[in-house]
Structure 1
Amino acid sequence: MFSLVKSLFVLAAATYVAAETHTIHFDNACGYGTPVVYQNFQKLASGDYTFNGPAYSVIAFLQTGNCGANGEGCTLLETTLINGGVSSTDVSLIPPHTFSVPTGFGYYNGCDGTGNNCNNANCAEAFHVTDDYGAQRQCTSDNVNLAITFCK
């Protein structure tokens, strides 16, 4: 009997973990460029993308034709979206990243209203050096999603 209960518990836990999802949605108001999502140096999408599980160490940017494969030379957004912990997102202008377009973000489906916007090269809302931690915005909601805006 104990092993049956244990098996059911493991199955229920596995089902719960498999149910984790996070969507990155783009709103490109620039009139040019292609929003892209990368993880582990691999391009996942040109446009919206849904992760079926945690989204660790994800970067996104507006590929204007002037950005390197990892967003070098452009405004970069970094995020980790996870259940059961702390999701964190920020805009980075740490070299080799530089301001290219106004970039903002906001969580939705949890932590609604939490986000940040960087509208110029000197914005205080972005990382300029590695310890600009005030630029990070965090969320502890499960299955939280992220909306990224360009040129707003």
Structure 2
Amino acid sequence: MQFSLSTAFVALAGLVSAVVGETHTVHFDNRCGHGTPKLVQGGKVLSSGEDFTIHGPLVSAIAYLQTGDCGLNGENCTLIQTTLQNGGSGSDTDISLVSPHKFSVTSGFGYYGGCDGAGADCKDQECPEQYHPVPCSADNVNLAITFCL
């Protein structure tokens, strides 16, 4: 088997573009007139309402509207949990009211740039979409989160 430098370069370039090419954006639309959207991952605030773009996967992130009553991990508030990633099991987002989280403001999410139209809304403390993850297998998918629908 003959292995050339050009073959190695092409293979490496393909691998690098696959890794570097992954990107996801989380966009917030706060229609409440109060509060600050938060995007948190592993106890670190990634965004306080501005668009957040990551070059690579966003795994196990949470979002909520900080109204003054929420803990760092969204305790006491409506929580949106998300993983945005290419390949494997793909992206997955859901709304949670599981204790210590509880209904605080109407909240919803939707994918864009892939899986357009897929999402869920939580309009009251009995929201039927809670606990039901919404999957998306599209690469480089983005997420729009809206508060006070």
- In which range does the TM-score fall when normalised by the shorter chain? over 0.9
Q: Unpaired runs of 5+ in structure 1?
A: 128-134
Q: Does 1:89 align with 2:93?
A: yes
Q: Which amino acid aligns with 1:108?
A: Y
1:93-126 CA deviation, whole Å, 9 max, x = no partner? 0100000000100000000000000000111111
C-alpha separation between the residues in 1 aligned to 2:18 and 2:91? 18
C-alpha displacement of 1:12: 2.1
State the match for 1:49 in structure 2: 52
C-alpha separation between the residues in 1 aligned to 2:34 and 2:100? 22
Q: Does 1:65 align with 2:68?
A: yes
After superposing the two structures, state which structure 1 stretch, 88-97 or 6-15, moved more.
Answer: 6-15
C-alpha separation between the residues in 1 aligned to 2:47 and 2:30? 15
Q: Which runs of 4+ in 1 moved over 2 A?
A: none
C-alpha separation between the residues in 1 aligned to 2:34 and 2:4? 58
1:18-70 CA deviation, whole Å, 9 max, x = no partner? 11110000111111000011111111111121111101001010011110010
C-alpha separation between the residues in 1 aligned to 2:133 and 2:127? 13
The root-mean-square deviation of aligned C-alpha atoms, in Å, is 1.1
Written as runs of structure 1 = structure 2, the 5 A alignment for 1:106-117 is 106-117=110-121
SS in 2 for 1:31: coil
Q: Which amino acid aligns with 1:49?
A: F
Q: Which amino acid aligns with 2:3?
A: F
TM-score of the pair, normalised by structure 1: 0.91
Aligned with residue 107 of structure 2, among 92, 103, 107? 103
Aligned with residue 149 of structure 1, among 128, 131, 146? 146
SS in 2 for 1:126: coil
C-alpha separation between the residues in 2 aligned to 1:2 and 1:82? 33
State the match for 1:9 in structure 2: 11
